[in-house]
Structure 1
Amino acid sequence: MTANLSRRTVLRRAALIAAGATVGSQVLATPGYAASGKPDPAALRKALKTAQQKVKDREAHVLSGARSKNGWDMEKVVDDRGNVYTRSVSGTPLDVQVRMGDVETILAHVISRFHYEIDTLRKGDVVGWRRPGSVRKGLPESNQASGTAVQIRPGSYPSGLRGGFYPLEELTIRDILADAEGVVRWGGDDRAPDESLFYIDVRPDDARLTKVAEKIRTWTFTPGQGSGVLVDPLQSQRRKAAERLASQQA
């Protein structure tokens, strides 16, 4: 039964559980409970109402009320009780504001491989989260407002233009996308191209997201695998996988 629950449902239930924990601690602290050893119904109702209000206040503080193009909630704040935080990218000098968890794992892998295999990145080269009001809703760039997209050197690969990468560099990008098994899309493939943009291309409850993130985490602890280990994008099997994905995402 649990396996059929969506990620969104699980998160909502977790919020209720957290609220319940708050309720329990507040009820235990009431004089009525301490004196009788039994919960006071009035105190319980008050504590529940307080906990529910805290959840509503947090959502009002964090959520914009809109979703990005890929279906994730846009967030108004970063590093402040939401899901988007400033995270370091291992093996690079970079910090990026990105949605924590599986999204962070996957996008950090994309950034790291770019750094090692395409061109060395420096602080400020990667833009993650952007305020909901600064992105065009309904376009892929809106995914940045949910913390599910990054731009790598947006000034070097201007929006609306193609051909910013050499052929071998583009082959490497295709290989990186193949690593992500369709969970990540490159903005260079969009009708209105943005070659700096890489974004999560599945909904929050898509099981492929966790599958790919777990694969990448396993690589981290396996010698000879993962970012930082140079691969040959021209190798037959890798090239076929990259071409197959490119045709699917076209």
Structure 2
Amino acid sequence: MGELTRRRFVGATAGVAGAAALTSLLPATAAVAAEPAGAAGAAGSWAGERSSNGWPLLEAPETFGVEGSDQRVRLAGGDAAVVLLHVARRFHYEIGELRAGEIHGWTADRRVAQEYESNYLSGSAIAVRPLSYPAGARGGLYPNELVVVRDILAELDGVVSWGGDLTPVKESHFEIAVKPGHPRLKGVARKIEGWRRGPGDEGAGATDAFDPARREKARAFARRSA
């Protein structure tokens, strides 16, 4: 049984409590992708100078290490990197260790299958384990892993969108959902930096996504976002 098939099987046969938690965390409708600032041509080549979320395309991204791992990823600098690296850290600590080739960021290749994939061109999106969670494949995450993803999205106050809520789905995809300089992006980035400078009892690696209070916040956020 292949890994993706096994994940679907285990997810489908999870206990009643896990299934109930999963149902309560899913939004009633899928999030809508940002209106594209460019368009893919007939050959699937992105023609705009901004990605679909409104970020300018990059020629020289910055390279960052993912805390807790030996993996590196190329991204737009500043607040976007702070937020996306937080997503990667929490995935690494709480869902699964990131190994070689399991995280991708910026690319210069303008060929895109979906408009939201143009966000890699601006360094404002990451793909985590894209071979395990390819575009069009739903149900790659176990119910407990989905709890963590929903907690991350709520914690970041809508600044990040997840490909599992986009059409077609791509559960490996996380993107900045607001334009450069948006006040909410700045606020979330400052919050994350505060956690990193703090005493070590907050942020990635020290978060309990299954804490009842956090679970309720995640449910409330999903309801507001639906």
- Shift in CA distance, 249/106, structure 1 to aligned 2, threshold 3 Å: same
What amino acid sits opposite 2:89 in the alignment? Answer: S
Higher relative contact order (CA 8 A, sep 6+): 2
Q: Structure 2 CA distance, aligned partners of 1:99 and 1:249?
A: 26
SS in 1 for 2:75: strand
Match of 1:97 among 65, 74, 78: 74
The corresponding residue for 1:128 is 105
Alignment TM-score, normalising by the size of structure 1: 0.68
List structure 1 runs of 4+ shifted beyond 4 angstroms. none
Match of 2:65 among 88, 91, 100: 88
Q: Structure 2 CA distance, aligned partners of 1:142 and 1:248?
A: 27
The corresponding residue for 2:164 is 188
Q: Structure 1 CA distance, aligned partners of 2:135 and 2:103?
A: 15
Match of 1:203 among 174, 179, 183: 179
> How many pairs align?
179
The corresponding residue for 2:190 is 214
Match of 1:149 among 125, 135, 153: 125
Match of 2:53 among 50, 62, 70: 70
TM superposition shift of 1:204: 0.9
SS in 2 for 1:146: coil
SS in 2 for 1:73: coil
TM superposition shift of 1:229: 1.1
What amino acid sits opposite 2:170 in the alignment? Answer: D
Alignment TM-score, normalising by the size of structure 2: 0.75
Q: Structure 2 CA distance, aligned partners of 1:176 and 1:65?
A: 30
Structure 1 unaligned blocks of 5 or more: 1-63, 79-83
Q: Structure 2 CA distance, aligned partners of 1:124 and 1:249?
A: 32
The corresponding residue for 1:42 is none
**After superposition, what is the alpha-carbon deviation per residue over 1:171-229, rounded to whole angstroms, capped at 9, x for unaligned?**
00011111211100100011210000000000113101110000000000112011111
**RMSD of aligned residue pairs (Cα, Å):** 1.5
Q: Structure 1 CA distance, aligned partners of 2:173 and 2:225?
A: 15
TM superposition shift of 1:91: 1.8
**After superposition, what is the alpha-carbon deviation per residue over 1:121-163, rounded to whole angstroms, capped at 9, x for unaligned?**
11221010122512247x2111111000000000000101110
Larger Cα-atom Rg: 1
Structure 1 segment 1-250 matched on structure 2, within 5 A: 66-75=49-58, 77-78=59-60, 84-136=61-113, 139-223=115-199, 224-231=201-208, 233-250=209-226
**After superposition, what is the alpha-carbon deviation per residue over 1:16-63, rounded to whole angstroms, capped at 9, x for unaligned?**
xxxxxxxxxxxxxxxxxxxxxxxxxxxxxxxxxxxxxxxxxxxxxxxx
TM superposition shift of 1:92: 1.4
Query: If each structure's helix is expressed as a fraction of its own residues, which one has the higher value?
Result: 1
